[in-house]
Amino acid sequence: MPNPLKPEKSVVTTCAYCGVGCGFKAETRGDRIVRMIPWKEGKANHGHSCIKGRFAYDYYNHPDRVRTPLIRASIEDPWTPVSWAEAFDYAAGQFKRIQATYGRASVGAVSSSRCTNEEIFLVQKFARAVLGNNNIDNCARICHSPTQFGLSATVGWGAASQHFDSILQSDVIMVVGANPTEGHPVFGSLMKRRIRQGAKLIVIDPRRTETVKSAHCAADIHLAIRPGTNVAILDSIAHVVVREKLYDEAFIRARCEWHEFENWAALVGSDRYAPEVVGALAGVAPDDIRAAARLYANGPKSAIYYGLGVTEHSQGSTGVMCLGNLALACGMLGIEGVGVNPLRGQGNVQGGSCLGSWPHVFSGYRFVTDDAVRASFEAEWGVPLDAEPGLRLPNMLDAAVAGTFKGMYVMGEDPVQSDPNQHHVIAAMKNMECVVLHDLFLNETSKYAHVFFPGSSSLEKDGTFTNAERRVSRVRKVVEPLAGYQDWEITVKFMNAMGYPASYASPAEVLDEIARLSPAYRGMSFALIDRIGSAQWPCDESAPEGTEVLHREKFPRANGRGTFMLTEYVPTAERTTDRYPLLLTTGRILSQYNVGTQTRRTANSLWHPEDVLEIHAQDAAVRGLKDGDLVRVASRFGEIELRARLSTRVNPGVVYTTFHHAKSRANAVTSDLSDWATNCPEYKVTAVDVALVDAG
Ligand code: SF4
């Protein structure tokens, strides 16, 4: 009898989950995917994978997938299945009516880091060339927008300076606000390999994560800081570097402006950042701060890896600048084994940042306010473009609540579940007259949508992703799209229905357009990537097969030099009180991916069937709680219920949960504070109290 699982063919593609971007061979039999095998030639993963990626196909033909376009006049009405032509006509008619009634700026678009580069580029083109405004944002707004701001300010590009394999040359690895073992498992394994070879590990994180201690490695120094004190602790590390003259003067004089270093050194060298002062504030031993500073500065090769524990704060951009400053001061840029590297949560966060899905820049980080840049896009797109930066996603939601913003095209995102202060997001959604949702499943946001475009998963389309090390890899169609169209085709047809004559034979032509308009992608093409496997940007005439390490000779700034930014610590306004005496912080678990839309529909759900609340035994005892009790978590913004898990991973005074399950509604309690520069929400610090839910 033939084996029904025996594959007949395989297609090399890229995992659509985390920012590692592992290469996989998706094996099929007939029209079914039967297995995902890690691709040995994949330069990001070298044949390795994690349990998310191995099962990253079960969801694609899950019974919950929507296969027909849906429309309804009101969110109170049931959905009506319609043809694609009717759906495009209806959505376009509503958007045109809204713009005629409320003005050109009353609508906007949001794309996702789950989309391919080509789709992200098309959605921002939809906003700019079709809607005629710059109301375009993407989900990096709520995760790594401070990376773009903070790294651009210090070293010029908001991107990882290294390739992943560079870590194998590091002597010291500093992980700040990240847990690669669970969030970026394949990279986490590479990091552990280097630690087993003798590299030292410093972890700055409020929680004793798997990265701090596991069966295979342990941190040499763990600064278990109080949530919200990143900037103070990084400035204190810098204080030791300055006071003990551990900085690299030759590098600073050659590659930076010395007087800017002096200004920064005067700030961080002041007594208020002394380890004794900051240690008391952050809850860590002053000698551990000193030891971390000496270890990092003395390297000789020290690399920084960081995540959302740095960015999702009211000083998220300042925290990123602290890391840029520290690397510049210690000369830890421009060679193998060093650098500052954001670990991107979703597969294409870097692509989302690069390809113009922001209200102020086109693809290639070029400003919409620059007349010459705008003229080059106008020449390519054949329409006049708005010179005024548009609304960020939180501003769109605020304007919707205020009644001036009425329509949104949302591709691959679930703002109701993933954005902060859920009550506010729902109020905004309810106030809009046309929400067009383009996704695989009816998610939380679909409850407030009027049009649903059934999208295609990464297994049903062609395109590219850019991973956390700037590596552009191919996404290849493994099976036919369940609802008939690939996502890029849906956006193009929506543009056409709006009256804009977009036309592409394939996403390869979209990447060609990206290359014409975006300097760092100038040499990228499907042909190049198909030939060499993948390529890291910048990829142009001087680097025709891409660039592994940035900043070797100069920084991509007007004067070619790195800059020190002043990073004064400002405490978050979110403080504990008698009523809310604990600090809640959030994170991820290995088996689940983000809001769980995909992984909850795969075998991974067996490993993590619900989100739980980690609480220290001391805090539990005060409240009469036992392990497994159902507890109410209350903040100034809302209440949720979770099972308590007594844990020594968190210190007394800190509680922790994940956000993978819609029913746990973690964002119903998170605050509405956000990063001063980018509006990235402060997910990592919320004052709460925890109490037993009365079974009666
Ligand atoms: Fe690789 Fe990340 Fe996918 Fe795991 S989830 S297989 S580490 S890309």
Q: Is the pLDDT of residue 350 over 90?
A: no
Atom of ligand 1 nearest to the CA of 186: 7
CA distance 688 to 635: 4
**Residues with Cβ within 8 Å of residue 253, at least 6 apart in sequence:** none
Among residues 61, 77, 96, which one ends one of the domains?
61
Atom of ligand 1 nearest to the CA of 593: 5
SS3 for 247-302 is CCHHHHHHHECHHHHHHHHHHHCCHHHCHHHHHHHHCCCHHHHHHHHHHHHHCCCE
Domain assignment present for 36: yes
The residue whose CA has the least distance to atom 1 of ligand 1 is: 22
SS3 for 567-629 is CCCCCCCCCCCCCCCEEEEEECCCCCCCCCCCHHHCHHHHCCCCCEEEECHHHHHHCCCCCCC
Distance of CA 377 from the midpoint of ligand 1 (Å): 35
Q: What is the pLDDT of residue 553?
A: 93
Q: What is the pLDDT of residue 486?
A: 97
The residue whose CA has the least distance to atom 6 of ligand 1 is: 53
Whether residue 357 sits in one domain with residue 505: yes
Q: What is the pLDDT of residue 602?
A: 64
> Is 334 in contact with 549 (CB distance < 8 Å)?
yes
Residues found in the chain: 696
185 close to ligand 1 (CB < 6 Angstrom)? yes
18 close to ligand 1 (CB < 6 Angstrom)? yes
CA distance 603 to 559: 52
Domain assignment present for 560: no
The residue whose CA has the least distance to atom 2 of ligand 1 is: 18
Separation in Å, CA 279 to CA 103, 265, 274: 53, 19, 8
Burial 298-333 (b: 16+ CB within 10 A, else e): ebebbbbbbbbbbbbbbbbbbbbbbbbbbbbbbbbb
654 close to ligand 1 (CB < 6 Angstrom)? no
What is the largest distance, in Å, between two alpha-carbon atoms of the chain?
A: 78
Query: 38 is in which domain, residue-wise?
Result: 9-61
309, amino acid identity: G
Cβ neighbourhood burial of 628 (10 Å; 0-12, 13-18, 19+)? exposed
Tokens of 98: 């809204």
Q: What is the pLDDT of residue 696?
A: 46
Tokens of 102: 């409320």
Degrees to nearest 5, angle at CA 672 with 670 and 675: 110
Whether residue 490 sits in one domain with residue 436: yes
Whether residue 485 sits in one domain with residue 382: yes
Tokens of 320: 């990123």
Domain assignment present for 524: yes
Distance of CA 55 from the midpoint of ligand 1 (Å): 10
565 close to ligand 1 (CB < 6 Angstrom)? no
Mean pLDDT across the chain, nearest whole number? 91
The residue whose CA has the least distance to atom 4 of ligand 1 is: 50
Whether residue 195 sits in one domain with residue 126: no
Whether residue 301 sits in one domain with residue 254: yes
Quick one: which of 3, 1, 109, 14 has its CA closest to 350?
Answer: 14
Q: Any idea what the CATH number is for the domain that residue 474 is in?
A: 3.40.50.740
Among residues 536, 564, 592, which one ends one of the domains?
536
Q: Is the pLDDT of residue 558 over 90?
A: no
3-state secondary structure of 149: helix
Q: How many domains does the chain have?
A: 4
> Is 508 in contact with 526 (CB distance < 8 Å)?
yes
Whether residue 370 sits in one domain with residue 328: no
Separation in Å, CA 262 to CA 150, 269, 327, 537: 19, 10, 15, 33
Q: Any idea what the CATH number is for the domain that residue 314 is in?
A: 3.40.228.10
Q: Any idea what the CATH number is for the domain that residue 22 is in?
A: 2.20.25.90
> Is 650 in contact with 207 (CB distance < 8 Å)?
yes
Domain assignment present for 573: no
Give the DSSP per-residue string, 58-120: GGGG-TT---S-EE-SSTTSPPEE--HHHHHHHHHHHHHHHHHHH-GGGEEEEE-TTS-HHHH
Tokens of 35: 């297995």
ipTM associated with this complex: 0.99
Whether residue 359 sits in one domain with residue 331: no
pLDDT, tens digit, 9 for 90 and up, residues 52-95: 877 767 777 788 899 999 999 999 999 999 999 999 999 999 99
526, amino acid identity: F
Domain assignment present for 403: yes
Degrees to nearest 5, angle at CA 60 with 54 and 61: 125
The torsion angles phi and psi of 654, rounded to 5 degrees, stand at: -120, 135
Whether residue 257 sits in one domain with residue 126: no
281 close to ligand 1 (CB < 6 Angstrom)? no
What's the pLDDT band for 666 if we cut at 50, 70, 90?
Answer: confident
Q: What is the pLDDT of residue 598?
A: 60
Domain assignment present for 15: yes
160 close to ligand 1 (CB < 6 Angstrom)? no
Q: What is the pLDDT of residue 230?
A: 95
Lowest-pLDDT range of 210-224, 242-256, 257-271: 210-224
Distance of CA 164 from the midpoint of ligand 1 (Å): 13
Give the DSSP H or E segment for 489: helix 487-497
Distance of CA 473 from the midpoint of ligand 1 (Å): 14
CA distance 527 to 525: 5
Whether residue 39 sits in one domain with residue 98: no
Domain assignment present for 332: yes
Whether residue 262 sits in one domain with residue 302: yes
Q: Any idea what the CATH number is for the domain that residue 648 is in?
A: 2.40.40.20
Q: What is the pLDDT of residue 498?
A: 97
Among residues 292, 326, 342, which one ends one of the domains?
342
Whether residue 310 sits in one domain with residue 415: no
The residue whose CA has the least distance to atom 3 of ligand 1 is: 53
Domain assignment present for 625: yes
Predicted TM-score (pTM) of the model is 0.91
Degrees to nearest 5, angle at CA 446 with 444 and 448: 100
**Residues with Cβ within 8 Å of residue 395, at least 6 apart in sequence:** 679
Whether residue 434 sits in one domain with residue 367: yes
Lowest-pLDDT range of 277-286, 414-423, 592-601: 592-601
What's the pLDDT band for 365 if we cut at 50, 70, 90?
Answer: confident
The torsion angles phi and psi of 384, rounded to 5 degrees, stand at: -70, 145
Mean of pLDDT values over 254-263: 96
49 close to ligand 1 (CB < 6 Angstrom)? yes
Radius of gyration of the chain (CA): 24
Among 12, 13, 14, 15, which residue has the most ligand 1 atoms within 8 Å of its CB, making it the best to mutate? Answer: 15
CA distance 143 to 308: 6
562 close to ligand 1 (CB < 6 Angstrom)? no
Q: What percent of the chain has pLDDT over 70?
A: 94
